[in-house]
Structure 1
Amino acid sequence: MTFWIRINPQGCVEGSVYASYLDEDSTRGAHAEFVPDRPTRLYEAAHGWRHERVDRAEWKRRAEPCLLGDCQHRQVAA
């Protein structure tokens, strides 16, 4: 099982979707799934937003803490 994760410029994961859910299994397809508006995608790409495909172990390590609000990114921002 693999996932696409949405990562903000600070490195915090802000979203996740099963890779099998996407019509286009690519970074571009994942970004379009999270952000349907093309101008917004272009802006985000230019400002450090990323989308990565990860396996379950990597999802647990990187995405789960962020999505539960328990990550280091939120502690630094506070």
Structure 2
Amino acid sequence: MTFWIRINPQGCVEGSVYASYLDEDSTQGAHAEFVPERPTRLYEAAHGWRHERVDRAEWKRRAEPCLTGDCQHNRAAA
């Protein structure tokens, strides 16, 4: 099982979707799934937003802490 994760410019994962859910299995397809508006996608891409395909173990390590609010990014902001 693999996932696409949405990563903000600070490195915090802000979203996740099963890779099998996407019609287009690519970085562009994942970005379009999270952000349907093309102008917004272009802006985000230029400002450091990323989308990566990860396996379950990587998802647990990187995405789960961010999505549950227990990541280093949230601790640094507090």
Which bin holds the TM-score, normalised by the shorter protein? over 0.9
Q: Any stretches of 5+ residues in structure 1 without a counterpart?
A: none
Aligned residue pairs total 78
Report percent identity of matched pairs.
92
Offset at 1:77? 1.3
TM-score normalized with structure 2 length = 0.99
Task: Please identify runs of 4+ aligned residues in structure 1 that moved more than 4 A.
Answer: none
- Hey, what's the Cα distance between the residues in 2 that align with 1:44 and 1:27? 13
RMSD: 0.3
Q: Deviations over 1:3-27 (max 9, x none)?
A: 0000000000000000000000000
Offset at 1:40? 0.3
Q: Deviations over 1:23-76 (max 9, x none)?
A: 000000000000000000000000000000000000000000000000000111
Q: Any stretches of 5+ residues in structure 2 without a counterpart?
A: none
- Hey, what's the Cα distance between the residues in 2 that align with 1:26 and 1:41? 14
